[in-house]
Amino acid sequence: MDTARPQLQTPEQSDSTTKEKNRVEQVIEKVATGLGDSIGFLADKGILFIVFALIWVAFGVALIWSQGSLDAAWQWVRDLPWLAQGLVWLLFLPVMVGLWIWETSWALIWRLALIVSLAGWTLLVFPRPWK
């Protein structure tokens, strides 16, 4: 029974592959570190808490006075290209889950309970520097 042996790379081949990989890794590392540091800064200073508190207040106001605007927001996100939808879901995951819950056909009391719980949990986990 013959087993296939992996082909060994010559030093020239492995060096060029390693250098290219290192460049890609360097770019990814710089972008990820910059993005992570930015989000960490926003969280540490309480800016993310304020942003999400405002979004949840707007969500609550829309729930009370203009439920059609929640439906319009859901439809607007669904009409975005897939990449943009993914980005919106990634950046605003708790709010998007809240919109999704609102758009389900579940009983109103369950939807309200889940959305209020989700909003409370979201605001609970964000650090507040004044705390």
> Domains of the chain: which residue ranges?
49-125
Tokens matching residue 12 = 């020239």
The predicted pLDDT at position 11 comes to 55
pTM above threshold 0.75: no
Distances (CA, A) of 107 to 64, 95, 98, 99, 114: 16, 19, 14, 15, 11
Q: Quick one: how far is CA 68 from the chain centroid?
A: 24
Q: pLDDT 10s digit of each residue in the chain, 131 long?
A: 555 555 655 555 555 555 556 888 888 888 778 877 888 888 888 899 999 999 999 999 999 999 999 999 999 999 999 999 999 999 999 999 999 999 999 999 999 999 999 999 999 998 787 76
The predicted pLDDT at position 29 comes to 85
5: DSSP letter:
P
